[in-house]
A and B are shown apart, each in its own frame.
Chain A
Amino acid sequence: ETGVTQSPTHLIKTRGQQVTLRCSSQSGHNTVSWYQQALGQGPQFIFQYYREEENGRGNFPPRFSGLQFPNYSSELNVNALELDDSALYLCASSEPGVYYTEAFFGQGTRLTVV
């Protein structure tokens, strides 16, 4: 059984550019959630995908968008990058059929916007 994997591990982008982060969910998990963790803060919920549909969104602007693929892997896209987008981006997958949320997290992608 493989865990949640994210790529790349580190990324440096220039303000105004676009970025795509990738996440492979744990085997058998059909739900993927994305979180942003700024330095010194707790993770903040961006959005969740369940069976390829967005299923809940946090307080993030539309330039944060996502996709989930038939194999349940997921992408997070951020357009028009701003300096404040610099953060650790965490992906979490959840077990299907489990009513309560038990999220398994990946190692994260460290995004630096300069």
Chain B
Amino acid sequence: AQSVTQLGSHVSVSEGALVLLRCNYSSSVPPYLFWYVQYPNQGLQLLLKYTSAATLVKGINGFEAEFKKSETSFHLTKPSAHMSDAAEYFCAVGAGGTSYGKLTFGQGTILTVHP
């Protein structure tokens, strides 16, 4: 069984400040981990993914995430927030083999960026 916990349903930062969105996962098999972003009334857009290669993963729009197996974490960061980063962010875990395509999502974190 797999699960994802996103710590903090709302995160507020000032423009130019560091963004840190937290994600912890549970998986009985080596996980594939993802971060998606969702803008209002839209679908999900993939930001980045971890697939057992490099533990530090770089994604689009300046975001990156680090896979830490010992901490079962996959936190999302961005050095300098931009107003356009305001959205909801979802961490997800997937499994390979016959379960590929099934993603388990966290509850989401709404990011607010203040001028």
Report A44 CB to chain B, min CB distance, Å: 7
Report B108 CB to chain A, min CB distance, Å: 5
**Cβ contact within 8 Å between B103 and A45:** yes
**Cβ contact within 8 Å between B102 and A107:** no
* Chain A binding surface SS class: strand
Contact of A101 with B105 at beta-carbon distance under 8 Å, contacts A43-B44, A106-B43, A107-B42 already known: no
Q: How far is it, in angstroms, between the C-alpha of A58 and the C-alpha of B103 when the chains are bound?
A: 10
Contact of A42 with B43 at beta-carbon distance under 8 Å, contacts A99-B100, A100-B96 already known: no
CB neighbors of B among A18-55 (8 A): 31, 33, 35, 40-45, 48, 50, 55
Q: How many residues of B contact A (CB 8 A)?
A: 28
Contact of A101 with B32 at beta-carbon distance under 8 Å, contacts A31-B101, A42-B106 already known: yes
A72 at the interface (CB under 8 A from B): no
Q: How far is it, in angstroms, between the C-alpha of A92 and the C-alpha of B101 when the chains are bound?
A: 9
The residues of A that contact B67 with a CB separation of less than 8 Å are none
A90 at the interface (CB under 8 A from B): yes
**Cβ contact within 8 Å between B102 and A100:** no
B77 at the interface (CB under 8 A from A): no
Q: Write out, one digit per residue, whether chain B residues 7-22 have a CB within 8 A of any chain A CB (1) or not (0).
A: 0000000000000000
- Chain A minimum-CB-distance residue to B95: A101
- Chain B minimum-CB-distance residue to A41: B107
The residues of A that contact B44 with a CB separation of less than 8 Å are 43, 90, 92, 105
The residues of B that contact A100 with a CB separation of less than 8 Å are 32, 49, 51, 94, 96, 100
**Cβ contact within 8 Å between B108 and A41:** yes
User: A41-B108, A43-B105, A92-B101 known; 11 other A-B pairs, CB under 8 Å?
Assistant: A42-B92, A42-B107, A43-B44, A48-B102, A55-B98, A56-B102, A100-B49, A101-B103, A103-B46, A105-B36, A105-B43
